[in-house]
């Protein structure tokens, strides 16, 4: 197991894994993390918008999420 001491270490360890992204406005998106940059803009593949009960309300496919809208990224 690799040590995670910085936020980008966590993002690097999450590449090609599913993550949950909580955004401003209580928008929740789940998808496979494919890429990110220094502004924490992220690319998700097979992305889905989730309702509060974790049911899928909309499927997006591949999306770019702007970093300044992200509140939380969870594995």
29 near 43, Cβ under 8 Å? Answer: no
Is 47 a domain residue? yes
The pLDDT value given to residue 3: 73
Residue 1 placed within a domain: no
Quick check: is 67 in a domain?
yes
pLDDT, tens only, 3-27: 777 888 889 999 999 999 999 999 9
| Rounded distance between C-alpha atoms, residue 5 and residue 8, angstroms | 9
57 domain-assigned: yes
Q: How far apart are the first and last CA of the chain?
A: 15
Domain contains 2? no
Is 13 a member of any domain? yes
Q: How many domains does the chain have?
A: 1
Domain span at residue 38 reads 7-74
Give me the pLDDT at residue 1, please.
55
Residue 17, in any domain of the structure: yes
For position 66, which CATH number holds?
Answer: 2.30.30.100
């Amino acid at each position: 197991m690799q040590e995670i001491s910085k936020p980008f270490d966590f993002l690097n360890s999450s590449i090609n894994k599913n993550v949950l992204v909580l955004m401003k406005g209580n928008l929740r998106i789940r998808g496979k993390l494919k890429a990110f940059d220094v502004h924490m803009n992220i690319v998700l593949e097979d992305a889905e918008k989730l309702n509060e009960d974790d049911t899928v309300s909309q499927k997006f496919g591949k999306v770019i999420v702007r970093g300044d809208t992200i509140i939380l990224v969870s594995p």
